[in-house]
Structure 1
Amino acid sequence: MHKYRDVLSQVGRLAAVEAVCVAVILAVYFFLGGLDAKVLLGALIGGAMSVGHFLVLSITVSNALDRAKDEEEAAHVRVSILASASMRLLVMAVILIVLFKAGICDPVAALVPLLCAQLALKFIGFFQGGKEEPR
């Protein structure tokens, strides 16, 4: 668990900013008069998927960097990270397509949190200012 302390810290920050983004999305839908169960479910699924994606990405990169130190095979590590990224995106796409085709959730409400994750990471990085956390 000690190994993933920094990863979990970053994921926690992302989850907090994503929660704010989801709240803003729901507020916009509410004030536009379109808030319903599909929108709520879409926003929650999108937020959970973006945080889950970042968590798996962070763990994958952390493990790959540890292997790179041991094996010193940068090419193999790069390929494993790219393969993991491709699989994550494929799985997310399949899940979203199934949800949208079945009419389970609102597509816009589900996709906006995924886009907000990129902004959230930049926001977090800006306020962190490259500072290392004390260990």
Structure 2
Amino acid sequence: MTSDREWLETIRKRLEQRREELVRQHQQGLRFLAAEGQSQADEGTVASHPADAASDVTMAEYQQTVLRTLEEELHEVLLALDRIAEGRYGICVDCGRPIERERLEAVPWAARCIADQERFEKELERQYRSS
């Protein structure tokens, strides 16, 4: 059985690997968007047919959504690494109780216990519906 210190070091390494992977994916996405923009600029037009224009816009919006998702996850990973460095990792940011180890192994950047995460998501959904 691994000690808490060894387990935490394993989690830290996983978070650092995930951070590197997210940064790499984000950079690739930015290069893709830049290349698409340059390709369209070289052609002198965004698209010659309305369906092509719609497809180009949809692809750009999709890529921007992917980039935003990567940025959000990267932010959560960085916060988790900060919590490790500060000795607060594994403690729910809402209730202050320990987060289940199984949850942290599944989602190493989790900041909330399952009950508080569910409440947090319901609140976000409620806010989204009311706006």
- TM band (smaller chain): 0.3 to 0.5
More helix by share: 1
Structure-1-length-normalised TM-score: 0.37
Largest Rg, 1 or 2: 2
